Each structure stands twice: as structure tokens, then as C-alpha cells.
Amino acid sequence: MKFQMSFIGNLLSKQILFSTTNKFAINSIKQSLLLTQQSKRLMSGQVITNTADTGLPLKEVLHQLQEYASPSIAEGWDNVGLLLEPSSPHTVKHLFLTNDLTEDVLDEAVSKKADLILSYHPPIFSSIKRITQEAWKNRLIIKCFENRIAIYSPHTSYDVVKGGVNDWLMSCFHGDTKPIKPLEPGVDNGFGQGRICTLKEPLAIEEVVQKVKTHLGLPYLRLATAPGVEQVQSIACCAGSGSSVLRGVRADVFLTGEMSHHDVLDAVSTKSHVILCEHSNTERGFLKTLIPVFTGMLKSKVKVTVSELDKDPLVVV
């Protein structure tokens, strides 16, 4: 959030500077005021969508997305970047963000006239030998081509990037946060897998649970308590499925989406409480923070929205 606000602050100061030296000063000031109103709405937590619809060529949009987080920092096994490209020229007027591209979410994107879908999880991952109507992922591909919608997936590049999914997940706690596995071993530049936070003030596990519920907007989550750990002084998190990143880490709490039964037993036996929120609940909320970031980076020429239908498939009943 700090980055977003300072980004908007820079935009405002540039615009005001411009207005004092330009004969269109009044219009510029009006625009600045409009932007200020948008900023206030942003700070009060409202979702902003830009109404500009001039659009930008796909290549320019891709350039900005990759400026935000380079696909080169993603995990080697991942399938990130541009996954589906309609024939040129392709203008992007509406960038539509989702955590998972299901058929319902794609119908929503089509009805809202999206030109580019940013799907955090890559909807195309394994190799494909035929594209027919039988498999739902193939139907996604067919419908995207028929409706001239490109697909871009950032996935693990957003986990690793400084200010990305894991920093957002940890942002409900006050403390010193750093990556569990830095991107470059021994280099502390904020990039890397997972995050570990040393809290400024210790918390009871009940307080940690409440903070996570509030941050993620969840009525329920799953908790495994580690006997004898009364005060929480450190929290390790990994958005999504965290076992491989969290294994062997010393922290009073592990916070992730999902872990296997046996990994949970291992964690509590080594004095780490485990909080499980379901996989995508630890990822999805980050997308809303990207609306003002991308609106600014794309010079307000592209409408940026988040899916209203995207949700975790699992609920506690």
C-alpha cells in the first residue's frame, strides 16, 4: 500500500508541476483534483476502476506488466508470461484480473468485454495434444480465441517480487519482514520465496487468528495449535501451498493456504502453530491492490478490474 500511495503522490506532484507551466493549467488542475478524489476513495478502501477506454497495444501492456514483476524471477518449473495471444493488432482496453480462470470467470470476462485476462494461476500448464470441447481447460482456450482475449499469468513471479502476494499476506502484522528463501542467497533485497516476520509486540495465537480472518475476510479458517507456545513472536507465511517453503523454518506460526496432514503434525511437533486458510484465499485479495498500480502504470488508458466471481472452490460448511 505504501508503494501505491507514493506512486499516486508522484503522479499528483508531476501533474501540478506541469499545470504551472502550461497554458492548459486549469484543465490540469481539474484532472489533479479528480485524481485526488480517486486517491481519497482508494485510501478509504473503495475499489477504483478507470473509465478511460482508449486502450494500449498488447505489447505495451505486457511491457508494463513485466516492469512490475519480471517473468525471469518466477520458479523454473512454472509457466508464466503471455500464454495466449490473439492475432495482431490487439488493443487492450480492459485488463481483467483473476486468481483462477474458471469457465464462470471467463464468461464474466467475456460479458465485460475483457481484452486481456491476467490469471494469477496459469490456466495452461501441461502440454496439449488436441484442443476440443471435451476438457474444460481446452474450452477456455477456444473461447478466449473466439472472443479475442489474451491471457497472461504471473504466478510465482508475484510470490517472489518485493511487495507481492506474500508481503500482502503478511501485511496485517507489524514487524520486521523478510523473505524465507531470498532470490539471491545472502542478498536481502526483499525478493524471494515466503516471508518471515519478527513481530514488534508478541501476540496470543487467538489475536493472530483474528488478524488473519479480518485481513482475508474469512469467517472460518483451520488452526492446529502447538502445545506450550503461549506467545507468538514470529510468523512464517507462504501463499498457496506452503509446505516446501515452510519446512524446517523456525517460527511460532506457519500461515499458508494448505498443508498435508503429516506436514501439519511435523510443524506442531516442532512448536509451530499452523493456520490454514484454503489455497487461493491466501492469494486472491492481493489482486485488488494492483488496480491503482496498473491504472497508473498504463497511464489510465486501460480499465483495470478484478473478477467478481472468482473464489476458492472450498468452503467450510
Q: Per the annotation, does 206 bind a ligand?
A: no
Nearer to Zn ion, 120 or 294 (CB): 120
By the 8 A CB rule, do 175 and 167 touch?
no
SS3 category, 2: helix
Give CA angle at 236 (176, 192), nearest 5°. 75
The sign of the torsion formed by the CA atoms of 289, 294, 299, 305 equals: negative
Nearer to Zn ion, 101 or 199 (CB): 101
CB of 56 to Zn ion, least distance (A): 28
Q: Under the phi-then-psi rule, with left for phi > 0, alpha for psi from -120 to 50, and beta for the rest, what region is 251?
A: beta
CB of 166 to Zn ion, least distance (A): 11
H-run or E-run covering 29: helix 25-43
Q: Per the annotation, does 94 bind a ligand?
A: no
CB of 283 to Zn ion, least distance (A): 5
Nearer to Zn ion, 227 or 313 (CB): 313
CB of 239 to Zn ion, least distance (A): 7
Residue tagged 506452503 (cell numbers):
242
Q: Contact positions toward Zn ion, by CB under 5 A?
A: 240
Q: Per the annotation, does 90 bind a ligand?
A: no
Nearer to Zn ion, 32 or 289 (CB): 289
For the purposes of burial, counting CB atoms within 10 Å of the CB of 50, is it exposed (0-12), middle (13-18) or buried (19 or more)? buried
Nearer to Zn ion, 100 or 252 (CB): 100
- C-alpha separations of 68 from 26, 86, 230, 290, 298 in Å: 32, 23, 40, 10, 11
Nearer to Zn ion, 252 or 278 (CB): 278
Chain position whose Cβ is nearest to Zn ion? 240
Q: Per the annotation, does 283 bind a ligand?
A: yes
d(CA 112, CA 186): 46
d(CA 149, CA 69): 21
Binding residues for a divalent metal cation: 121, 159, 279, 283
Binding residues: 121, 159, 279, 283
